[in-house]
Structure 1
């Protein structure tokens, strides 16, 4: 039985499900979920991420990690962690760069947090015995400071959607239409009084999973020290909007089309993630991807690559524009740093951090 058929039967028997429940099933169902069975990343897949666009992205994350380690006092033991590592390209570029940071790799215990069997296989092919795997952050031993990176992880965490109607808030749910097909609808919600005021028609998204990750990282960093770098597309301030989308072959498709066959995402809610981390005793700051990469020296790195390979100057220029252009990834994508209160990570010095919502 297909995932669509199983979801249809589930809804027919028990009523509509939340958008968050639908996302979880589509992405992580062990038999038919997108990431569990058929993730397709890259030019020939469904979507492409920054590490695949240019080596410069991963190299600068590696430079950031090395500089952060130095600011931490170069601890002898360190957990270097990537959550949601895709096909392993980002960690490969990070580790290659960190070979130029004397002592770092000797101190670092390298972990990947990954639940997808197909992606673990790709990571193993690329990275071999240089890394270890865990299904959750909690499985990685504590007791040592961490440097953690997560690129395009938050957007894959499920969110509920609430719609302001003329008479109050309702939750957007996935149910069945008159012909028994999956369809969006509205259901009464007991949490309406807790939601912000808005005009009719506005959509408010709330991701308990994103906030929970912020809290988990905040508690871990507050206890053991270190920093986390969360990179994703999303909002820098609380706001409204329906950001649920499904991608198939780099094109948007109906989120209800063939559950499990497309990647489903929502925008990262950085204010909620940062507030949850701060509540656990961690500090937080936010930059656009443009500002972060510029502060880390992407312009100089691009010039060096062009000098080494002049024939690739056009390609390198296009890659640079894709990563930092205001109409490309540069403004929509944000870089969030969660860190111990006693120091500030590279690129985030002298910032006015985002105020709690």
Structure 2
């Protein structure tokens, strides 16, 4: 009988000792996105709720291009494109689509890439798939206007957790206790965290910073825009934001490793600091404000007149049910 992924994690920890939270998330998420058959059943994203979501992102992208694009051809880059349906909805905007010369999709999941190929079958001549940011950078042509899109990408990236109490700080790690996975605190000498943060749980991610630096560098070099949409916060409450979902039900992050979706809330204030470090102008809005500003109510009326069903429900879900989602545009 083959070992479960959880058994493999337990064996790893027994051999090498407790592992940091970001390593646990990285291993678990890689297995989940590449091997789990229940991804589409575990959670729902805005593009799955309504075509209007991607269409509004397309309107934003066109408005950015008309302001700053100078008639250049567009390379649109999506980080974590899921099943590809948001890109499909973005491309409904023909004024935008006619300017797009390249579509770069960044993903590490072969299972999801197969879905993307099916959903975007009419655009395969424009698409290239990448699994590293370096490859993306090497393939960007100098005459392109770059548009980055990332919806619910950053929340799935691994984070570190630290527990701080006055001058004491310890890292949250995953260990094995009585043959089961458990959370433990491990000593650390990270004095910067001590001096810069309040007491409580501190969440940081080198992955966040690396991707934001990458986006910023490309935009400054080639001229472009970026939109990041995710659930998160502006004011840090210094508590754990990790959650795990399986079959639309929340579960403990240690309960089904490699078989459940593990995510954390995105610190949009930190994102703003990184972009401002690169001297880039940013705006942060709630998802509701963003969708309203770029005309989702008008789009909903058009779809209703054309006979589309459940538009009121879709509108309510996107504007009110996803009330902890924010949008940062660059």
Same fold, judged at TM 0.5 (above): yes
Task: Identify the residue that residue 126 of structure 1 maps to in structure 2.
Answer: 119
State how far apart, in whole Å, the 2-side matches of 1:73 and 1:266 are: 34
Preserved CA contact (<8 Å) 1:219 1:282: no
**In 2 relative to 1, CA 107–303 (structure 1 residues): closer, same or farther, beyond 3 Å?**
closer
Q: What's the RMSD between the two structures over aligned residues? A: 1.8
Give 1:90 deviation, angstroms. 0.2
Deviations 1:257-281 (A, max 9, x none): 1310001001112222222222233
**In 2 relative to 1, CA 85–193 (structure 1 residues): closer, same or farther, beyond 3 Å?**
closer
Partner-residue secondary structure (3-state), 1:184: strand
State how far apart, in whole Å, the 2-side matches of 1:238 and 1:225 are: 32
State how far apart, in whole Å, the 1-side matches of 2:183 and 2:62 are: 47
Partner-residue secondary structure (3-state), 1:283: coil
- Matching of residue 58 in structure 1 with residue 54 in structure 2: yes
**In 2 relative to 1, CA 121–185 (structure 1 residues): closer, same or farther, beyond 3 Å?**
same
Task: Identify the residue that residue 351 of structure 1 maps to in structure 2.
Answer: none
Structure 1 unaligned segments of length 5 or more: list them: 339-357
Give 1:194 deviation, angstroms. 2.5
Moved beyond 3 Å, runs of 4+: 39-42, 195-199
Task: Identify the residue that residue 168 of structure 2 maps to in structure 1.
Answer: 168
Preserved CA contact (<8 Å) 2:76 2:100: no
Preserved CA contact (<8 Å) 1:84 1:150: yes
How many residue pairs get aligned? The number is 320
State how far apart, in whole Å, the 2-side matches of 1:302 and 1:337 are: 23
TM-score (norm 2): 0.92
Task: Identify the residue that residue 198 of structure 2 maps to in structure 1.
Answer: 198
Deviations 1:149-176 (A, max 9, x none): 1100000111111112476221111011
State how far apart, in whole Å, the 2-side matches of 1:73 and 1:229 are: 16
Preserved CA contact (<8 Å) 1:27 1:263: yes
State how far apart, in whole Å, the 2-side matches of 1:274 and 1:249 are: 33
Give 1:16 deviation, angstroms. 0.8
State how far apart, in whole Å, the 2-side matches of 1:235 and 1:198 are: 16
Preserved CA contact (<8 Å) 1:154 1:232: yes
Give 1:237 deviation, angstroms. 3.1
Deviations 1:113-152 (A, max 9, x none): 1110000000001112142211123312232320111100
More helix as a share of residues: 2
**In 2 relative to 1, CA 324–39 (structure 1 residues): closer, same or farther, beyond 3 Å?**
farther
Structure 2 unaligned segments of length 5 or more: list them: none
